[in-house]
Amino acid sequence: MAASIKRPRFQNLLLAQLFTVSLMTSLGAWYGGMPLATSVVLGGMVAFLPNAYFAWRMFRFQGARHTKQIVNSFYKAEAGKFGLTAALFTLVFIAVPPSNPAFFFGAYVVTLFAHWLGPWLMRRPSHT
C-alpha cells in the first residue's frame, strides 16, 4: 500500500495575506479615506496575486517519480511570479497611479512579510 503524499497547506498562508490586505485596507479607509484605501489594496494585490500564482503552479506535482517535473514547475512558477509582479507594478503605475506611494509600497511589503508566518501556518498537525 503506497503512502499518500500530503501537499503543503499553502491556503492558510494565502488567507493570511488576504486578511493582512483587508485589515490594512480598512485601516487605510478609516485613516485617509478611499484614495488611501485604494493605494493600500493595490499594493496588497500586487504582492498577493503573484504569490497565489506561484502556489498554484508550484504544487502541481508530487512524489519521487515526478522530480524533474517538480523542479521544472518550480522554475516556471518563479519566472511567472517575477513576470507577473513586474507586469502588475507597470500596470498599476500606468493605469491607476496610487494616490499615496508610501502606503502602496508599505502594503506591498507588509503583505510579503506575511510569509514569515509560513512555517507556523503551513505546519502539519501532530497526530501524537
pLDDT band with cut points at 50, 70 and 90 for residue 123: low
Residue 125 domain-assigned? no
Are 85 and 50 in contact by the 8 Å Cβ rule? The answer is: yes
How many whole angstroms from its chain centre is CA 37? 19
pLDDT band with cut points at 50, 70 and 90 for residue 120: low
Residue 126 domain-assigned? no
Q: What is the count of structural domains for the chain?
A: 1
Domain range holding 18? 10-120
Residue 32 domain-assigned? yes
Going by the DSSP 8-state scheme, the letter that residue 12 receives in this structure is H
Residue 42 domain-assigned? yes
Residue 95 domain-assigned? yes
Residue 81 domain-assigned? yes
pLDDT for 14-41, tens place per residue? 888 899 899 999 988 898 889 889 999 9
Residue 128 domain-assigned? no
pLDDT for 96-107, tens place per residue? 888 888 999 999
Grid coordinates belonging to 16: 493570511
Going by the DSSP 8-state scheme, the letter that residue 123 receives in this structure is P
